[in-house]
Structure 1
């Protein structure tokens, strides 16, 4: 329970193009006491949210309608925001520079999300 308590108030940028998956992630984040930023279903929308600030970390779908998420990952890295990737392909689609980031294998459970968010929270400080 301490792990979940530590997540309260964490501002998480959610980038996911599948509406039902996005809604499920939002529900999980709310249950964990996190604040959802977005969600964004398109890369340009996600980039705008990341540039606007007000986030602690991000949960990124690896592929948005055939468009790789890597420009956003680069922006988040430049700004010092930790991120995790949510994908059905494991870490197979990651670039070398992204290999140190946590990966949530879809489908995932709330406990898996909480564990990854605790890692990201530790990176935030």
Structure 2
């Protein structure tokens, strides 16, 4: 059964690019969210659950990807793969406490994203 992936990214073109990449690789994309409230609502409504979230650090409307990842992990045990251009040491340390599957910097390659997602499938 393919992994069910949620994309949490406020830049629409990047979200669509990620979705195309994931679909081409055989993953199921359960939906996209651009901020924390949308991500929570999506997780609540997806039947069958979400296996992993691809998470930007800086989200729309002032919401934070690390806080969003924390909420998803605490409530549904959904791990996150952080994909961001803002991966300084402080941000990494904050994110690390929620046991992400990894960190990929922007701009990213398809290989980086897909190889990180392989860890969830194992």
TM-score normalised to the size of structure 2? Answer: 0.82
> Could you say what the CA RMSD is over the residues aligned between the two structures, in angstroms?
1.9
Equivalent pair of 2:30/2:50 in contact (CA under 8 Å) = yes
Residues 33-57 of structure 1, C-alpha deviation per residue, up to 9 Å, x if partnerless?
0011211112211111123342111
Instruction: Name the SS of the counterpart of 2:83 in structure 1.
Output: strand
Answer yes or no: is 1:83 the counterpart of 2:80.
yes
Q: Which deviates the most, 68-77 or 110-119?
A: 68-77
Q: Tell me if structure 1 keeps the 8 A contact 2:83–2:104.
A: yes
TM-score of the pair, normalised by structure 1:
0.81
Aligned twin of 2:67: 71
Change in CA separation of 1:12 and 1:107 when aligned onto 2, cut-off 3 Å: same
SS class of match (1:33): coil
Aligned residues: 115
Counterpart contact for 1:10–1:35, Cα < 8 Å: yes
List runs of 5+ in structure 2 lacking aligned partners: none
Question: Secondary structure of 1:55's match?
Answer: coil
Given that residues 91 and 103 in structure 1 are in contact (C-alpha distance below 8 angstroms), is that contact kept between their aligned partners in structure 2?
Answer: no
Distance 2:103 2:90 in 1: 11
Change (3 A) 1:116 1:59: same
Do the aligned residues in 1 keep the contact of 2:5 with 2:50 (CA within 8 Å)? Answer: yes
Moved segments of 4+, more than 3 Å: none
Structure number with the bigger relative contact order (C-alpha 8 A, sep ≥ 6) is 1
Q: Aligned runs of 1:28-107 on 2, under 5 Å? A: 28-53=21-46, 54-65=49-60, 66-78=62-74, 79-92=76-89, 94=91, 96-99=93-96, 100-101=99-100, 102-107=102-107
